[in-house]
Structure 1
Amino acid sequence: MTAESADPLIAAAVAVRERAYAPYSRFAVGAALRCDDGRVFSGCNVENAAYPEGICAEGGAIAAMVAAGGRRIHEIVVCGGNEAAPCTPCGGCRQKLREFGEPDLSVRMVDPAGRVLLVRTLAELLPDSFGPTTLLQTDPVVK
């Protein structure tokens, strides 16, 4: 066991990737996030025959967090790709992460074995982002 695989967030992302439903693309992705109260939520990609009308792993994890009452992402791990190429969040997921995360949100991308391949902040992945405070005077998730 490596130090990386001992990280519970990485372990959760790797484990949920194994449950992905990707019969069309054959590209399984898992994501695990920790919200500001310490709880961990995970999600995997779920495809359907009306491809590409599926659900991304990050979106699934965010939906689980929101359904449980969470509102702020503290960190996230995305597991997919292979040992040579990290799986970065798609454009839509970058925007979803921005809705519940600050620009300094740490996004770690790991391979299916749990090895960290790339670490970026959300600001690096989505520069000059359009977020909740762009539309509102205050942050809608802080009450």
Structure 2
Amino acid sequence: MMIHAYQEIYVNNAQTMLGDAFDYAINTCHISGDDFVKMFVVSSFSERIENGEPACVAGKSGIELVHEIVFETMQKELNIESEVNYSRSCEYWIGWAVAYYQWYSDRSFKEIFNVLSFEDLKRMYYTLHEADISKFVDIVDSKMKEYYVETNLKRIRTT
């Protein structure tokens, strides 16, 4: 039996929220993908999502998440109007897919982004955005196994 990061009922909400956050941060706020990943990983919100904190995985919009991450990590307020966006951009897919993988694998976002850069994920979009999410999971699992050696005690970085 696989142990996931939190209850499955929250996965769709977490995916939508993180997808919207990546899309809004990058396409509306013009924060680079690499910079947003760094801010997200060092913020308290990445750990709160990993732990399945209901206020984070079900109680926030992606836009709210970006505003709070920027304030927490940069100590500045974003004064950018939010735009309603019903399209599913590459950046949305990256947040959506990474949220699913984090839930599925119970790995930290830091571990995931140590193995996959924003650009790596962007390149994956074109071949995987219409595929079943299990294909993304298989590919990322393979990359994780190359990067981390699993022991009974802890994960060890190999490169």
Q: Decide: shared fold, TM above 0.5.
A: no
- Taking structure 1 as the reference length, the TM-score comes to 0.31
- Taking structure 2 as the reference length, the TM-score comes to 0.29
Q: For CA contacts below 8 A with separation 6 or more, give which structure has more relative contact order.
A: 2
